[in-house]
Amino acid sequence: MSKDAQTQHTQSQPPAPASSGAGLQKSLKLIFVYTVATGCMFTYVSYWDSVFFSYCGAGTFLAFALMTVAILPTALVYSEISPLFKTAGGELIYNTVGINKHVGFLASWLIMAAWISVPPAVVMAIATYISKLFNLNLTFQVTVGIGVVILLLVFIMSLQDIQFLVKMQAGCLFANIGTTLITAILILTSGHWDIANVLDLFSFSSLSSSAGIPAWIIGMALLITPYFGFETVPQMVEEGDFPINNTKAAICGSVLTCGAIYTVFFFCVAGLAPVHDLLAGDAANGFMTITAMENLLGWKIWPVIYGLVSILLGMTASILGFWMSSARMMYSMGTKNFLPAAFTKVNKHQQPILPNIFLLAISLIFILLQNAGSFMNDFFNLMSFGCACAYALTMISAVRIHHKHPEWYEDNRNVVRGGDFFRILAMVIMIAIAFFCTLGQGAGSWISFGVYLGVGVLTWLWMVVVRWKQSPVIIETPDGPQEF
């Protein structure tokens, strides 16, 4: 691109956010970017454990180990392309540069389907645990009401200073990790643990085999959900005060940390009793491990401590992480002209205002659309599918970016070994996982996904018909601002 063309593109770039803070501010240490990603991921062990075991049985720990291996190529490709771009946007930027702005919009909307699904699902889990802990037997409507109150509190917190948010999240995360590892050790040494319960790895699944693919494999594909979150790292780079090449430590570190704990923890849980006993009665509806400690081991105090830390603190860490990332994705969409400029306004704490309001609104809509009997599985499956699709598109774009701009990688120490073979391998893995996820979707999941996608289609049409005819999409690349 010529200097004159670059100047013209720079002049056509949307103006900086008109606010007291003038946009996002660089203030985040690498450790907090790591804890944001890890906190997003490490929240599923205490509530969704019943979903995991209903899909993969005693072999849940093996499914997690295999999924860690399957996710790592994608995480490494993210580590490779993340240092190329200095602003928030992740999938939005990668797929716009790699393919076009329409695919960029689609990929960002898909990944936000996974992120935005988390707050309503998690606050319902918290409300349900409160009901279980105090034997309140709350109706679904009352549970929804508690979830709404929690969402409002999260919304208020999300408008505070970023340092307050990341430090709170880090504290919640490390408390959750510590308590989870202690629980694994206590179960393993309880005297009730038996390796025989672990060895029957593939005998149980609530899913049906489909298209000749065993149900256990479909269930393993759906376990991608406890791994999505590492892709939140590129949303935080605009606020990071560390060398951008160091994002690999946060991206891959979060995957390896969570994968190792998932594998160890569910290995210990699997040995506690046969799967049918673990999922007996109310345990099939969530909190399987907590219920097993109470009913099978007769413990009274530790299940409460574990539940309070893992549910209340662990899930709070996840909500905050995904909420912050979603707000920054929409902020980036505003700055790059994928959404109206109003999405770039920030408050005195440099927090995007309208994105946070949008997140609150759509989270409330998701809660009100829930079905009392299947919301947990509907949201879980929706997260899996949206995430896998976004990853698959991004892997395709990674291949195209490297082919179109090999010069961008000359000083990139995170370039993957194996080149295009490795990138294509990651792409194939993600396409396969996305396909397997479609086999596990129920009607409720598709309805939730359809409502969300409908909002995206209307927004995209408005951009095509109105907005993009007035102002172009501008992306900051290693070659400077470019129009797409």
Cα distances from 180 to residues 45, 62, 269, in angstroms, run 8, 18, 11
Residue 84 C-beta-side C-alpha neighbours within 13 Å: 27
Q: For residues 342 and 479, is the Cβ–Cβ distance under 8 A? A: no
Residue 394 C-beta-side C-alpha neighbours within 13 Å: 32
Specify the pLDDT at position 369.
67
Q: For residues 151 and 363, is the Cβ–Cβ distance under 8 A? A: yes
Structural tokens at position 65: 């180990």
Specify the pLDDT at position 3.
40
The count of other CB atoms within 10 Å of the CB of residue 83 is 23
**What is the domain count for the chain?**
1
Cα–Cα dist 390/89, whole Å? 13
Q: For residues 386 and 393, is the Cβ–Cβ distance under 8 A? A: no
Distance from CA of residue 410 to its chain's centroid?
A: 31
Cα–Cα dist 224/211, whole Å? 20
**Domain presence at residue 2:** no
Q: How much is the pTM? A: 0.86
Nearest to 118, CA basis, from 422, 366, 428, 373: 366
Cα–Cα dist 170/159, whole Å? 18
Q: Tell me the Cα Rg of the chain.
A: 22
Cα–Cα dist 4/198, whole Å? 66
**Domain presence at residue 25:** no
Neighbouring residues of 457: CB distance < 8 A, sequence distance ≥ 6: none
Nearest to 231, CA basis, from 38, 44, 423: 38
**Domain presence at residue 11:** no
**Domain presence at residue 477:** no
The count of other CB atoms within 10 Å of the CB of residue 457 is 11
Cα distances from 212 to residues 215, 217, 438, in angstroms, run 9, 11, 14
Cα angle: 27, vertex 29, 33; to 5 degrees: 105
Nearest to 118, CA basis, from 304, 376, 344: 376
Q: Which residue has the tokens 């172009």?
A: 472
CA dihedral sign of residues 73, 29, 262, 439: negative
* Collapsed DSSP state (helix, strand, coil) of residue 206: coil
**Domain presence at residue 480:** no
Specify the pLDDT at position 371.
56
Sequence-ordered alpha helix ranges (H) in 82-161: 91-98, 101-133, 140-158
Neighbouring residues of 10: CB distance < 8 A, sequence distance ≥ 6: 480, 481
Cα–Cα dist 204/390, whole Å? 30
Nearest to 40, CA basis, from 261, 244, 309, 226: 226
Compute mean pLDDT per 10 residues along the chain, 484 residues long, and list them: 42 40 77 94 88 92 94 95 92 96 94 84 87 86 89 93 92 95 97 93 76 83 86 90 91 96 97 93 90 95 95 90 92 91 91 94 79 55 78 94 92 87 92 81 74 87 91 92 92
Q: For residues 425 and 70, is the Cβ–Cβ distance under 8 A? A: no
Cα–Cα dist 42/40, whole Å? 6
CATH number of 97's domain:
1.20.1740.10
Neighbouring residues of 60: CB distance < 8 A, sequence distance ≥ 6: 52, 53, 223, 266, 269, 270
Q: Which domain holds residue 405?
A: 30-472
Structural tokens at position 105: 């919009």
Specify the pLDDT at position 449.
77
**Domain presence at residue 127:** yes
**Domain presence at residue 4:** no
Cα–Cα dist 483/323, whole Å? 29
**Domain presence at residue 198:** yes
Structural tokens at position 267: 């290995």
Cα angle: 343, vertex 29, 314; to 5 degrees: 75
Cα angle: 458, vertex 90, 344; to 5 degrees: 60
Cα–Cα dist 189/371, whole Å? 39
